[in-house]
Amino acid sequence: MPASGSRGIFGGELGQKLCRAFVLSPGIESTSRAYLLLINDLHLLQKKLQPIEMAGGSLPPVQVLDKPEDLKKLLKEDRGDDCLGCKVIGSGAFFGLAGYTYWSGHKQLTLQQKKILASGSRFGMRSRRLGITGLSIAFAWLGAWRAFN
């Protein structure tokens, strides 16, 4: 880019005259014409794009926008505050689900025990009880996590 700053690639009026001359001349290939038209459009656009006024001031410079933002800071800002009622309802739902899964699952295992043992499945009563208990523990852990985070 030239040292002229915001004057564009060709530098102001001279660039626009060169673009018009090349575009209007019949000997130039269409690709070159399209390229020069694009340069001209960019030059005109650059003239129109003065610092944009935003609600809090002007648009920050590109160097500030190019820096990657801190992920932890973004996640903290995005998370927002959770009200106490939301935490109580959310954690209560998980604790309730944990209790219901444990109670209902073990009750159904007890009722279906004869059929399970007669089926000859490689998953016997012990592994099924362990699965239901593990699922209940996972729901309880989610309830505790929801309550304290």
Rounded CA gap, 23 and 33, in Å?
A: 5
What is the mean pLDDT of the segment spanning 63-88?
78
pTM for the full predicted model: 0.49
| Radius of gyration, alpha carbons of the chain | 34
What is the mean pLDDT of the segment spanning 110-139?
91
Q: According to the model, what pLDDT value does residue 19 have?
A: 57
Q: According to the model, what pLDDT value does residue 75 have?
A: 76
pLDDT grade, residue 84 (50/70/90)?
confident
Please tell me which residue, 33 or 53, carries the higher pLDDT value: 33
Instruction: Say yes or no to pLDDT of 62 above 60.
Output: yes
What is the mean pLDDT of the segment spanning 30-34?
65
Please tell me which residue, 122 or 61, carries the higher pLDDT value: 122
Q: According to the model, what pLDDT value does residue 3 have?
A: 44
What is the mean pLDDT of the segment spanning 95-115?
95
Rounded CA gap, 118 and 54, in Å?
A: 74
What is the DSSP pairing of strand 53-54 with strand 57-58?
antiparallel
Q: According to the model, what pLDDT value does residue 2 have?
A: 44
The pair of structure tokens assigned to 126 is 């012990």
Instruction: Say yes or no to pLDDT of 5 above 50.
Output: no
